[in-house]
Amino acid sequence: MSKEVKEPLVRMTKRDTIGTAKAWGIRLAAVLLSLVVAGLVIVAITKQNPIQVYLGIVDGAVGTNRRAWVTVRETLALLCIAIGLTPAFKMKFWNIGAEGQILMGGTATAALMIYAGDALPNWLLLVLIFIASAAAGLIWGLIPAVFKAYFNTNETLFTLMLNYVAMQIVTFCIVFWENPAGSNTVGIIGAAGQKGWFPSLFGNIYGLNVVIVLILTLGMYIYMKYSKQGYEIAVVGESQNTARYAGINVKRVIIRTMMISGGICGLAGSLIVSGASHTISTSTAGGRGFTAIIVAWMSKFNPFAMILVSAFLVFMQQGAIQVASQFGLNENASDIITGILLFFLIGCEFFINYKLELRKNRKEGK
């Protein structure tokens, strides 16, 4: 005797493997769908032709030479932070503290620009800025790493809370650095002599930013793929027990990796303060530390893939700002567009790791 067994109409199953082309095809489909949905939302608000909306996005991102280089500058900052997060996330150390590490690096940069700007030649000042910003971020990454390695604390909460500590340190420093007095802001640091500012390179004010970030990108790719330490990071990320069995000092790997991660994020703070904004505030990181997590995750920790993902996200963000301004919307409109984009990009990872199967009826003997 047999009976028909009913299964759910649709069920999820985890994919064993998926081809690279298919995975990127799913991501591309998610991008296109997000653009359609974002266009519909903006059209509903502005009553404008969606083609005009997307032309506005393109114009906002690369419509003029200045806008194009601002997009490049923001892409480089986001890419640098994503590069910094890569070794930590590959090790499955959830470093949510990039915002704080950026702020500490930015604070160290601002301090040197303010106190040593008139006393040192610019080349030496910049060298000290790179060292100090990386050291500040390194220390901010080292603290949770030590507690994780020796006391097994929750690194997600620890690094997240350190973001708020860093913000309070910046607020404290602003009290002494505010310019003009009583403004509760630092203002542009070294505007007269541009001491501590990145010099023009290849005829462009952001040339040094490009060189630094590209060196970091190539260096991280080589480090993660070909070095012994990169191998240790991957093994610890897969299984700490396996790593110990293989003779790897897990505590040392955790501490060393977070020092590298925090140091690069701190260096990103110098790129923002010394190479772009020339000021410091609690909003200097600007949420980049969290966006960079998406960049690193979507790129599967491939530094070269991060270039494309960072560029696309920044392109859409800058374009969304222009659309909001062009059609007389408030500043939250650009956040809505960016949020829709991120929602689809994050959601598509589900369909890369899982697939939906339709119900199949089968006979089960009894």
User: What is the domain partition of the chain in residue ranges?
Assistant: 1-48+327-366, 71-311
What is the C-alpha to C-alpha distance for residues 195 and 357, in angstroms, rounded to an integer? 62
Distance from the Cα of residue 98 to its chain's centroid: 8
DSSP 307: H
Task: Tell me the backbone φ, ψ of residue 227, rounded to 5 degrees.
Answer: -90, 160
Residue 364 pLDDT: 47
How many CB atoms neighbour CB 239 within 10 A? 12
Q: Which class in CATH covers the domain with range 71-311?
A: mainly alpha
Residue 17 pLDDT: 84
Alpha helices for the chain (secondary structure H)? 20-46, 50-62, 65-90, 98-115, 122-151, 155-177, 207-226, 228-238, 240-245, 250-272, 288-298, 303-326, 332-353
Tokens describing residue 314: 């920044």
Alpha helices for 94-202 (secondary structure H)? 98-115, 122-151, 155-177
Residue 359 pLDDT: 66
Residue 14 pLDDT: 84
**Among residues 98, 61, 73, 31, which one has the least CA distance to residue 291?**
98
Mean pLDDT by 10 residues, the chain (366 residues): 62 82 88 86 77 84 92 96 98 97 98 94 96 98 98 96 97 92 89 92 92 97 97 96 96 98 98 96 95 91 94 89 77 77 86 78 49
Contact call for residues 156 and 94 (beta carbons, < 8 A): yes
How many CB atoms neighbour CB 158 within 10 A? 18
Residue 366 pLDDT: 46
Residue 179 pLDDT: 87
Residue 24 pLDDT: 84
Tokens describing residue 136: 């500040």
